[in-house]
Amino acid sequence: MKIKGFLKDVTGASRVTKARLGAFAAASKQPVTGDPIGEVAQTWHPGSMELKVVDIRPACKTAKTVRFVRTDGKKLPPFYAGQFISLGFLLDGKLICRPYSISSAPFEARQDDSFVEITVRRSKGDGLIADYINDELKIGDTLTGTMGLGQFYFEPLRDAKHIVALAGGVGITPFASMAKEIAHGTLDADLTILYGSVTSDDIVLKDELDAIRSDRVRIVHVLSGDEPGWTGERGFLTAELIKKYSREDNTYFICGPQVMYRFLREEIVKLDVPRRRIRFEVFGQAKDVAALPGYPAEMKDKTFALTVVRGVQEDVIPARADESLVTACERAGIVLLTDCRSGECGFCRTKVLKGSYFVSPENDGRRAADKDFDYVHACATYPLSDMTIKIPIV
Amino acid sequence: MKFYKDHYDVIVIGGALAGLSSALMLAEKGKDVLVLERHNLPGGIATSFVRGGIEIEASLHEMMSIGPKGNRLKVGKFLEDMGVDVEWLKVPEAYHASIPGLEVTLHPGLETFAKEVDAAVPGTYEKVLKLLNLCHTVFDSVNELSIHPMSKVKMLLKHEAFVKTAGYSTQEVIDSFDLPQKAQDLLAPYWIYVGSGFRELPFTIFAVLMADYVGYGSYIPRKFSHEMSLKMAERAEAMGVQIEYRQHVEKILVKNGRVYGVRTQRGDEIHADYVISAPYPNKVYTSMIEPKSEVPEGAIKMVNGRRLSLAAFSVIMILDKTAEELGIRDYSIFHGDTMDTDLLYRDLAGLGPYRYLTCICHNLANPDATPEGTCSFSITTLPRVDGWQTVSADDYDRVKHEVASQMIDMMNKYLGFDLREHILECVIETPMTIAHYTGMWNGCIYGYAHTMEDHIVARLQTAEEEKFIEGLEFAGAHQISGDGMGPAVTNGRKAAKNVLDDMKKREAAK
C-alpha cells in the first residue's frame, strides 16, 4: 500500500531496537528496591499485628477500656475516628476473631507513645469474648489485631460539618474516638452526641467524654430507665429529640444495639433528611437467626456435616443450622479469618461447593456476581444441609 | 496438614486478568496449574466493592478488543473460546471531549468518528479518515504479526504501513497529515489509556488504541469487572486449576539458572517447573529471587533502564439522583484545560492540580448499575508514580483529600452543580490503595511507559534476550502489550505460550 504524503523509512524497527538496547546498556547495575508507595500502604495497612495489653481500666460499672501497643515497637497504623479493629483471641488453642470500634483517637496512635484502645461491656450471657475481656484479659497478655477497618467515619467530601451521633450503650465508642480527635484539633467537624443509656450507671466513658465537652463537642445523655433525680433528657432517641439538637445541615451517624437500629430506622424517616445524610454502623452478627424473615424455622435445631476444603486438605466438622459457618469453623479450631462479622466487608468471602444455606438478609453485603456463583460471606451464612466450602489457607 | 500437591507444572503468582488468562490457556492444554493470589478474590483491580449496600466498579472504564457478538476481537474471542461467558454491554459512545474550545461527543466506527470530527472542525473528514485507516492497517498487522512472526523482507511486503511507521512517534505521524490543531485535539483524548505524551508515544501504540476503541467500540461486563474476573477464575477452577486466595508469595526459588518453585509468607515451599509472575520484574529481580546470586546483572540493568508508567487516582461516587436528573449525558467525559499530551504527561509527575480528568457514569451503558434514583460517577486521573513517591504516611490522608477535592471542583465547573451535594457514597482510590490491595510495585498499574526507547516493536524483537531465568515468565501490564485490561489478557496468553513452547522444546530435547 502507498501512504500518500507520508514517506517514512523502513529502518524504524531496527532503530527502536537499538535505542532499547542502548538504554539498558547505559542503565545502572545497582538494584533499586525502593517502593515508597507500597511502604505507605504497608504503614496504613500492616496486616495482622501482635499487640500487648498495657492497661485495663473501668469505663463504667459494666464496661472496661483496654489499651494495646504493638509488640514490635512500631506505631499503630493511622486510622479514621469511627473505624474498628479486628482482634484475634487464642482460646484453648482456637483462634476467635471479634471486631471492636476503636475508642481511642487517631492522634493517640500516631504520637510517640502510640496506643489503641477498645471499650467493651460485659455481656448478658451471649458474648463469650466480651466476658473474657472483662473478666480474664490481663496486662501483659498478647493477641493479634488488624486495623483500621470499616467505613463508619466522617468523610469531609461527603458529610455535613455537623455530625449528630446517635449512640446506644457501648455504641458510644466510635464517637468517643471522634470526640477526642475533634478536641485535639485534628478532625475538622462539630459533633453532637445523643447518647442513650438505661441508667446513669450504664453510661460508658462518661468521665472521659465530659472532660472534652466544648463548643465543638456537645454530649447529651438520654436515659430510658426510671432514674429519680435525673434532670437531663429522658426516653428514647426519638425524631423529636433528634430534631431538637440538629442544625441546618447534619450528617447522622448511628451506632448501637440492633434493637436501636430497628427503632431508629423508623424515627429517621420522620426527620425527612436526604438518605446521604444518614450513616449506620454495620449491623453486627444476627442474634437470633431463626427469627429472621425467610429462615426455615424447622431447621434451627439441626446439625450438619460441613466439609471444609483448604487447598488439597479436607476436614469434616459439625455445623449447627443456627450458627454461622465462621462459628462452626472456630469451634472446630479451623481458622477462618473475619473482620466485620456483619456480612459487609467480605473478608471471610468463601466459596460454597455443595449444599444449601441461608444468608441473613440484614447482613448480605455480597457482590452480584458472587451471588451467582455461590460465594458467601461466611460470618452471615448458615448451613441448611450438609455443605462443602472452600476457604483460604491460613 | 498438607495444602498443596508435591509438584505443579506451573505456578502463577497473581490471580488477576493476566494470571488467569495464563492459567486458562495452560489448563486447556492439560497442564497442572496453581494460582496464588494475595487478595481474597480474583481480578486485581478488575474488581468491585460494596458500600452502603451498593456495588461499585473499582477501576474499569472500558474494555478494548472485545467486539460485538459474532465478530469478537481477540480478547472477546479468547474468553469465549475458553468458555468464559461474560455478559458484555456496549458503551454507547467513544467519548465526550470537553477540551479548550470544544464540546464534542464522538462515536465509534471510523467513518462515523471522522464525520463527527468534521462537523466540529469542518474540512477535516478526508484526512482524519485516512489517519484512522492507517491506524487500522497497522492494527491488523500488529495482530497478525503477534501470532505469525515473519522475516523482515516478507514483513515489508505484507505490512508496509506497520514497518514504515514503526520508527516514529505519534506526533511525527500525525504532523504528516497536516491537520488543524482542533482536529488533532479531538483525536487525542484516549492518550491517557496508553499513558505517554504524543512526542514519546510510538505511533504503533496509538494506531492500535484508535483502531480498536474507535473502530469497534468498547464494552463493560454487566456485573462490573468482578463478573469477568470471577468467571475467568470459575472457569479455570472447572478446568482443574487450583486457586488459593490470600497467599502472599515472597520468594521465587531458583537453582542453576532455572526456577523450581516459590515460597509463601506463611512458609509453604511449593515446587513447579515454571513460574509466571504478576509482580513487576523490578520487585522480582531485586527482592524475590532466591538466592540473589541467581539474578544476572542484565536483569537489573533492564529494569533500571525502563521508566514506570502511570498509577491511578480516582474519586468514585454514588450520587443520590439519576444521571438524567443531574444532566450527565455521556458515559465517558474526557475533560482537560489543554490537549497538549506532552505537557499533561509532565504534570502527571506532580501531585496536582491535575488538568486532565476522565469521568465515567456507568449507568449510561448499564442502566441497572446502581439502585433506582441514583447513579455512579467517577473522576480519574492517572498520575505518574514520581509525585506520589514523595508522600509520607502522615501526609497521605491530607494529600489524598486535597487532590480529590481539586478534582471535584474542576468537574463541578463543567457540570454546573456541586457534586458534594449529591454524594451518597464516596471512595477515593490512590496509588497506595492499589499497592495495598494488589501489591503492585509503587502502585503502578500501567507497567513501563510506552516510549521510543521502550517501543512495542523493540519489545517484541528483544523478548528472547530479556529472559534471564529459565522457566520464569511474567504476566502483567509490565509485559509487551502494556497497560489495560484487554492487553492484560494478551500479556497473560503470551506468558502461557512461552511456557508451552518451552515445554515442547524441553520435551523434544529429551
CATH of the domain at B242: 3.50.50.60
Distance between the two ends of chain A, CA-based, in angstroms? Answer: 60
Are the C-beta atoms of residues B72 and B309 closer than 8 Å to each other?
no
Q: Per-residue pLDDT tens for B194-249?
A: 999 999 999 999 999 999 999 999 999 999 999 999 999 999 999 999 999 999 99
State whether residue B152 sits within 8 Å of chain A by CB.
yes
Residue with cell 525502593: A34
Expressed as residue numbers, the domain containing B249 is 8-87+223-306+449-509
Shortest Cα–Cα distance, A226 to chain B (Å): 36
Residue of B303, B391, B420 lying closest to A40 (CB–CB): B391
In chain A, which residues have their Cβ closer than 8 Å to the Cβ of B4?
311-312
Q: Show the cell assigned to A66.
A: 483496654
Beta bridge partners of A304: A319
B55 vs B479: CA distance, rounded Å: 31
> Which residues touch B147 (CB under 8 Å, ≥6 apart)?
none
Contact B51 A27 (CB under 8 A): no
The count of domains in chain B is: 3
> Which residues touch A338 (CB under 8 Å, ≥6 apart)?
A86, A97, A99, A326, A347, A348, A378, A379
Of B216, B238, B266, the residue that ends a domain is B216
Of B201, B216, B231, the residue that ends a domain is B216
State whether residue B69 sits within 8 Å of chain A by CB.
no
Residue of A28, A43, A275 lying closest to B320 (CB–CB): A275
State whether residue B153 sits within 8 Å of chain A by CB.
no
Rg of chain A over all Cα atoms, to the nearest angstrom: 26
Residue with cell 492517572: B382
Contact B165 A43 (CB under 8 A): no
pTM: 0.97
Q: Show the cell assigned to A379.
A: 460470618
Q: Examine residue B43 and state whether it is found in any structural domain, yes or no.
A: yes
What percent of chain B has a predicted confidence (pLDDT) above 90? 96
What local confidence, expressed as pLDDT, does residue B54 receive?
97
Query: Which residue type occupies B422?
Result: H
B262 vs B253: CA distance, rounded Å: 5
Contact B242 A312 (CB under 8 A): yes
Same domain, residue pair B301 and B266? yes
Q: Measure CA B290 to chain center.
A: 29
CATH annotation of A46-149: 2.40.30.10
- For β-strands B332-336 and B356-360, DSSP reports them as antiparallel
A264 vs B458: CA distance, rounded Å: 64
In chain B, which residues have their Cβ closer than 8 Å to the Cβ of A369?
48, 223-224, 226-227, 230-231
Contact B40 A346 (CB under 8 A): yes
DSSP string, A179-247: HHHHHTTSS--EEEEEEEESSGGG-TTHHHHHTT--SSEEEEEEE-S--TT--SEES---HHHHHHH--
Query: Which residue type occupies A7?
Result: L
Per DSSP, the three-state class of B505 is: helix
Contact A3 B244 (CB under 8 A): no
Are the C-beta atoms of residues A299 and A321 closer than 8 Å to each other?
yes
Query: Residue B129 pLDDT more than 90?
Result: yes
Contact A13 B457 (CB under 8 A): yes
B291: cis peptide before it, omega within 30°? yes
Q: Per-residue pLDDT tens for A22-75?
A: 999 999 999 998 899 999 999 999 999 999 999 999 999 999 999 999 999 999
Residue of B50, B301, B452 lying closest to A19 (CB–CB): B452
Residue of B152, B442, B459 lying closest to A38 (CB–CB): B442
Residue of B244, B283, B422 lying closest to A311 (CB–CB): B244
Residue of A30, A155, A392 lying closest to B245 (CB–CB): A392
Shortest Cα–Cα distance, B118 to chain A (Å): 20
What local confidence, expressed as pLDDT, does residue A1 receive?
39
Contact A346 B455 (CB under 8 A): no
What local confidence, expressed as pLDDT, does residue B145 receive?
86
Q: What is the mean pLDDT of residues B29-39?
A: 98
**Prediction ipTM score:** 0.96
Shortest Cα–Cα distance, A144 to chain B (Å): 16
Shortest Cα–Cα distance, B363 to chain A (Å): 16
Nearest CA in chain A to B158: A1
In chain B, which residues have their Cβ closer than 8 Å to the Cβ of A41?
432-433, 435-436, 443
Contact B247 A392 (CB under 8 A): yes
Q: Show the cell assigned to A35.
A: 517502593
Same domain, residue pair B397 and B453? no
Q: Per-residue pLDDT tens for B63-115?
A: 999 999 999 999 999 999 999 999 999 999 999 999 999 999 999 999 999 99
Contact B453 A26 (CB under 8 A): no
B47 vs A293: CA distance, rounded Å: 31
Contact B246 A394 (CB under 8 A): yes
In chain B, which residues have their Cβ closer than 8 Å to the Cβ of A17?
455, 457-458, 461-462
Identify the sign of the CA torsion A93, A99, A105, A106: positive
B266 vs B471: CA distance, rounded Å: 24
B506 vs B508: CA distance, rounded Å: 5
Q: Check: CATH 3.40.640.10 for A289-390?
A: no
Contact A19 B173 (CB under 8 A): no
Angle (nearest 5°) at CA A72 between A67 and A76: 50
Contact A393 B244 (CB under 8 A): yes
Are the C-beta atoms of residues B78 and B489 closer than 8 Å to each other?
yes
Are the C-beta atoms of residues A257 and A167 closer than 8 Å to each other?
no
List Cα–Cα distances, B389 to A191, B33, B250, B383, in angstroms. 35, 36, 23, 11
- For β-strands B258-264 and B249-255, DSSP reports them as antiparallel
Shortest Cα–Cα distance, B216 to chain A (Å): 23
What local confidence, expressed as pLDDT, does residue A285 receive?
82
A98 vs A109: CA distance, rounded Å: 20
The ranges of chain A annotated as CATH 3.10.20.30 are: 289-390
Contact B454 A23 (CB under 8 A): yes
Query: Which residue type occupies B236?
Result: A
Q: Show the cell assigned to A298.
A: 424447622
Number of Cα atoms under 13 Å in the Cβ half of residue A374: 14
Q: Per-residue pLDDT tens for A88-106?
A: 999 999 999 999 999 999 9
Phi, psi of B499 (to 5 degrees): -65, -45
The ranges of chain A annotated as CATH 2.40.30.10 are: 46-149
Residue with cell 531496527: A14
Contact B441 A344 (CB under 8 A): no
In chain A, which residues have their Cβ closer than 8 Å to the Cβ of B295?
31
B33 vs B24: CA distance, rounded Å: 9
Region of poorest pLDDT, from A223-232, B222-231, B309-318 = A223-232
What local confidence, expressed as pLDDT, does residue A2 receive?
42
Rounded to the nearest integer, the mean pLDDT of chain B is 97
Contact B432 A32 (CB under 8 A): no
Contact B167 A11 (CB under 8 A): yes
Residue of A39, A157, A375 lying closest to B423 (CB–CB): A157
Q: How confident is the model at residue A154 (pLDDT cuts 50, 70, 90)?
A: very high
B192 vs B139: CA distance, rounded Å: 19
In the stretch 84-113 of chain B, residues with CB closer than 8 A to chain A read none
Instruction: Mutate one of A1, A4, A7, A8 to test the B interface: name it (highest B CB count within 10 A).
Output: A8
Phi, psi of B205 (to 5 degrees): -70, -45
Query: Residue A283 pLDDT more than 90?
Result: no
Q: How confident is the model at residue A3 (pLDDT cuts 50, 70, 90)?
A: very low
Same domain, residue pair B473 and B373? no
Nearest CA in chain B to A23: B305
List Cα–Cα distances, A34 to A38, B287, B390, in angstroms. 9, 10, 12
Nearest CA in chain B to A9: B164
Per DSSP, the three-state class of B338 is: coil
Same domain, residue pair B411 and B375? yes
C-beta atoms surrounding B247 within 10 Å: 26
Q: How confident is the model at residue A125 (pLDDT cuts 50, 70, 90)?
A: low
List Cα–Cα distances, A140 to A143, B159, B263, in angstroms. 10, 73, 33
Q: Measure CA A271 to chain center.
A: 27
Largest CA distance in chain B: 73
Outline where B217-350 has alpha helix (H): 224-238, 281-283, 297-304, 323-326, 341-347
State whether residue B154 sits within 8 Å of chain A by CB.
no
Q: Examine residue B338 and state whether it is found in any structural domain, yes or no.
A: yes
Contact A346 B50 (CB under 8 A): yes
Of B216, B242, B276, the residue that ends a domain is B216
> Which residues touch B325 (CB under 8 Å, ≥6 apart)?
none
Q: Show the cell assigned to B416.
A: 454546573
Q: Per-residue pLDDT tens for B109-126?
A: 999 999 999 999 999 999
Assigned CATH topology for domain A162-280: Rossmann fold (3.40.50)
In chain B, which residues have their Cβ closer than 8 Å to the Cβ of A26?
305
Q: Measure CA A91 to chain center.
A: 22
In chain B, which residues have their Cβ closer than 8 Å to the Cβ of A12?
163-168, 457
Same domain, residue pair B73 and B124? no
Identify the sign of the CA torsion B413, B310, B87, B209: positive
Shortest Cα–Cα distance, A206 to chain B (Å): 30
Contact A20 B152 (CB under 8 A): no
Burial B488-505 (b: 16+ CB within 10 A, else e): bbbbbbbbbebbbebbee
What local confidence, expressed as pLDDT, does residue A8 receive?
65
Query: Residue A5 pLDDT more than 50?
Result: no
The ranges of chain A annotated as CATH 3.40.50.80 are: 162-280
Q: Which of B152, B141, B154, B114 is nearest to B204 (CA)?
A: B141
Sequence length of chain A is 394
Per DSSP, the three-state class of B340 is: coil
Q: How confident is the model at residue A126 (pLDDT cuts 50, 70, 90)?
A: low
Nearest CA in chain A to B429: A41
What local confidence, expressed as pLDDT, does residue A11 receive?
87
- For β-strands B102-106 and A387-390, DSSP reports them as unpaired
Same domain, residue pair B116 and B201? yes
Same domain, residue pair B423 and B455? no
Number of Cα atoms under 13 Å in the Cβ half of residue A129: 19
Q: Which of B36, B70, B60 is nearest to B276 (CA)?
A: B36
Q: Show the cell assigned to B497.
A: 505460550
B159 vs B166: CA distance, rounded Å: 11
Q: Per-residue pLDDT tens for A326-356?
A: 999 999 999 999 999 999 999 999 999 999 9
User: From its phi and psi, is residue B24 left (phi > 0), alpha (psi between -120 and 50) or beta?
Assistant: alpha
Same domain, residue pair B14 and B121? no
Beta bridge partners of A120: A64
Q: Measure CA B216 to chain center.
A: 18
Beta bridge partners of B429: B314
Q: Show the cell assigned to B65.
A: 478488543
